Amino acid sequence: MRILLWKLWMGYRIFGPIIELLMAMFRPFAVAMYRMGGPIVAQMAGMILISAVVAVCVGVWAHAMLFGFVDESILATAASAGVELTGAFSYVSPATWGLTPSQIAVQLQQVGGVAANMSGVAQYLLWPVQFGIVRDLVGLGALMGLFNIIPVYTIWWERKVAGRIQSRLGPMRVGGWHGWSQSPADGIKLLLKEDLIPDGADAPLFRLAPYFNIIPSALAFVALPFGATYVFRELDVALIFILGVLGVEVLGVMLAGWASNNKWSVYGAMREACQMVSYEIPLGMALLLPVVTTGTLNLTKIVDAQSGGWFHWLVFSSPFAFIGFIAFFVASLASCKRAPFDLPEAESELVAGFLTEYSGIRWSFFFFAEYAAMFVVCGLAAILFLGGWHSPLPASWGAALGDAWYARGVKGLLFSGPVWFVAKCVFLLYVQIWIRWTLPRIRIDQVLYACVQVLLPLTMLMLLGTTVWVWASTSECETWAMVTAITRYVLGGIGLMFAFAFPAIAAYGFYHRRAMVGNLVQDAMPGS
């Protein structure tokens, strides 16, 4: 073990007394808080979790409303009234700092109602919101919060699903309501664990590798839209930007394996490299199908092309897209190193693969990156093929509601809003977890066979087919229009069958949940 003396010195001589003092001050307070809060948390764990989720949703919605209000009612009206707005939307401009508080107050008076009555305070509260940099800081805070919350609760979700599928009792034993606080507790444990670096490791690379993993997967969220306006940066090349940053993630895994100087780690890294380099090609090919169909790399525009309800989703647009979606999903499993493609960390063969030598916070960085990347590829699948943030309900029903404030709310909840995007992502995440706990791991030669000899030719054919399909759709031929409509409804019907069969089968399983797993399988088998 390599213990760096200067670090210990810094820790004990400088920060040690300060930390001791703070702990002496806060220890009784923390114990009292625990004694008071513990029973409440244990009693109302589910309520606390649900209210936290609702609070986050309300927070996101409120900040979007606030930014929209400032843009529409203050900045736009001020600009139309001839007030000079230089620099209000850009970062720093030497000429002016946007509207002054008194100018904002004038605009608030024009808005009237509550805004006018509150303008004395609101002018100062709203003043910073007009600057791009303030909004970006808010957005970055939201992104980082999301990036931290998604892995923590996907891991909980994974434990719950694993518990259901494999009759594991863990989540029900500790951690409050269905074990929801196990993941935060894990996080605290990992923060406090010792960060070991093996003697023989290449220390700088060993330290650096987790960042090569976690930073790209955080960067992917920059361009991933959650709704028509819920996107940090709407890039015109968002799709290949996400593909590019997720490709960099492989480098982190390889460096981790190499720098650990451990044969298991190197094997894991080699497998990761083999798998990723080969699966990136079918993944990219499958990503091209929606691009060819919609003619853009901008994710928001790709989703806009799919508005109008269930039958307008790209996955049902042609048989090629339908098969391409399945190919994309398989390739995305491989690119996130999820079972049955989890060879880089195969616990039963390689100890923990490239993670063998890691501990503490660096180990958790890899898992944060993995689960965040899972969410990102699920988000891509939802955006590219499953209509993004549009609901399956026909858009014409939403249009019939009108444009009143409550109608906008209903539309946001029922017809198109971030809630649908998150729901689709969560469903796809569920499918990924379901596959992991159901299928056995396949061998590396099978992995490469599946890629090079099955997926790659398949996606190439699908790309060719989609190209021809799109080319044929540009013609004005009426027969062809009928063919596309029939295809759309037939494929959409197949999708609907799946959509209804899934909850039905799940309900059957839930109804028989007390049965032993073996009995359930035997009873459901034909001829039993």
Q: Which DSSP string do the residues of 210-229 spell out, in sequence order? A: HHHHHHHHHHHHHH--SSSS
Q: How far apart are CA 92 and CA 266, in angstroms?
A: 48
86 binds another protein (CB under 8 A): yes
Q: How far is the CB of 381 from another protein (least distance, A)?
A: 19
Q: Are 484 and 473 in contact (CB under 8 A)?
A: yes
Q: Which DSSP string do the residues of 358-404 spell out, in sequence order? A: --HHHHHHHHHHHHHHHHHHHHHHHHHTS-TTB-SS-HHHHHTT-SS
Q: How far apart are CA 27 and CA 46, in angstroms?
A: 27
Which one of the spans 14-22, 264-272, 441-449, 450-458 is the region binding another protein (CB under 8 A)? 264-272
56 binds another protein (CB under 8 A): no
SS3 assignment, position 241: helix
CB count within 10 Å of CB 292 equals 15
244 binds another protein (CB under 8 A): yes
Q: How far is the CB of 230 from another protein (least distance, A)?
A: 20
Q: How far is the CB of 489 from another protein (least distance, A)?
A: 31
Residue 149 dihedral angles phi and psi, to the nearest 5°: -75, -40
List the structure tokens of 100. 């002054």
Count of residues binding another protein (CB under 8 A)? 43
**Buried/exposed code over 431-448 (b: 16+ C-beta within 10 A; e: otherwise):** ebbebbeeeebeebeebe
**With respect to another protein, which residue has the nearer C-beta, 414 or 470?**
470
79 binds another protein (CB under 8 A): no
Q: How far is the CB of 234 from another protein (least distance, A)?
A: 11
Interface characters, 399-438, with another protein (x: CB under 8 A): ----------------------------------------
Angle at 251 (CA atoms; ends 258, 458), nearest 5 degrees: 120
247 binds another protein (CB under 8 A): yes
**With respect to another protein, which residue has the nearer C-beta, 261 or 307?**
261
224 binds another protein (CB under 8 A): no
Q: How far is the CB of 266 from another protein (least distance, A)?
A: 7
**With respect to another protein, which residue has the nearer C-beta, 248 or 496?**
248
Q: How far apart are CA 272 and CA 257, in angstroms?
A: 10
**With respect to another protein, which residue has the nearer C-beta, 154 or 294?**
294
Give the CA count within 13 Å in the CB-facing half-sphere of 223.
Answer: 22
Question: Measuring CA to CA, which residue among 325, 284, 326, 281 is closest to residue 451?
Answer: 281
Q: How far apart are CA 528 and CA 521, in angstroms?
A: 10
355 binds another protein (CB under 8 A): no
Among 6, 91, 406, 498, binds another protein (CB under 8 A): 91
- Residue 49 region by backbone torsions, left for phi larger than 0, else alpha for psi between -120 and 50, else beta: alpha
214 binds another protein (CB under 8 A): no
308 binds another protein (CB under 8 A): no
240 binds another protein (CB under 8 A): yes
Interface characters, 11-50, with another protein (x: CB under 8 A): ----------------------------------------
94 binds another protein (CB under 8 A): yes
Question: Measuring CA to CA, which residue among 407, 405, 387, 386 is closest to residue 397?
Answer: 407
444 binds another protein (CB under 8 A): no
Question: Measuring CA to CA, which residue among 135, 137, 146 is closest to residue 56?
Answer: 146
195 binds another protein (CB under 8 A): no
331 binds another protein (CB under 8 A): no
Q: How far is the CB of 368 from another protein (least distance, A)?
A: 20
Which one of the spans 244-252, 309-317, 355-363, 390-398 is the region binding another protein (CB under 8 A)? 244-252
464 binds another protein (CB under 8 A): no
Among 269, 285, 374, 463, binds another protein (CB under 8 A): 269
Angle at 268 (CA atoms; ends 266, 274), nearest 5 degrees: 100
Lookup result for tokens 């805004």:
115
297 binds another protein (CB under 8 A): yes
CB count within 10 Å of CB 89 equals 14
Question: Measuring CA to CA, which residue among 55, 46, 60, 50 is closest to residue 421?
Answer: 60
245 binds another protein (CB under 8 A): yes
Which one of the spans 178-186, 242-250, 384-392, 487-495 is the region binding another protein (CB under 8 A)? 242-250
Q: How far is the CB of 268 from another protein (least distance, A)?
A: 11
**With respect to another protein, which residue has the nearer C-beta, 86 or 100?**
86
Q: Are 423 and 152 in contact (CB under 8 A)?
A: no
- The contact set with another protein (CB under 8 A) reads 86-87, 90-95, 133, 200, 202, 204-205, 208, 212, 235-237, 240-241, 243-245, 247-248, 250-251, 254-255, 257-259, 261, 266, 269-270, 273, 276-277, 280, 295-297
